[in-house]
Amino acid sequence: MIRTGLVGTRRDPKWLDSVNYLTLYSAKAQLERPLNASFMAASVLPLSTAYSISEAFGWERGVGHKFKEAPQFLVLYTAIIIIGAGIVLFVSSKQLIFVLNLPNVVGGMLLPLILVLMILLCNDRRLMGRYVNGPIFNVIAWITTIVMTVLTLLIILTTIFPSL
């Protein structure tokens, strides 16, 4: 008889029960993973956003604090969750795809500005010291920034004027 890591042998009905159980459990896990990831993201993203904003403004932060100790952080965290739930509940299903893509579009439109600021920071000798950008990297960075700016402007123009 051939032994497996499961209960019983291949000819044993218990082995088939084990295989069926593992197959069903695996299928169930495949269905639950996206739901679990959604619940995880629904709590982690507002929390990380609240942490980032609170840190930027120098506010006390942390979920272990009482409301009197970190009111801005906890209000911000709660507000982000409520706003997200409101968008999901009250925006029509046809517009949800637009809402899902909106952060990517805004990020793409802000990319040229961020690239210019990064290049300026990377060329500041007072800030970067001996790690300042070299001339070859500056040429590549500025060409990339110009191309991204032109592409962003083209996307904006074709969105506003579809006949172009």
pLDDT of residue 29: 57
- Tokens representing residue 140 in the block: 């590549």
Burial letters for 49-65: b for 16+ Cβ neighbours within 10 Å, e otherwise? ebbebbeeeeeebeeee
Residues in the chain where the model's pLDDT stays below 50 = 1-8, 12-13, 15-16, 19
- 93 sits in which H/E element: helix 93-122
Distance CA 156, CA 16 (A): 59
Q: Are 15 and 4 in contact (CB under 8 A)?
A: yes
pLDDT of residue 159: 82
Query: How many Å apart are CA 54 and CA 79, to the nearest integer?
Result: 13
Which pLDDT score is estimated for 75?
93
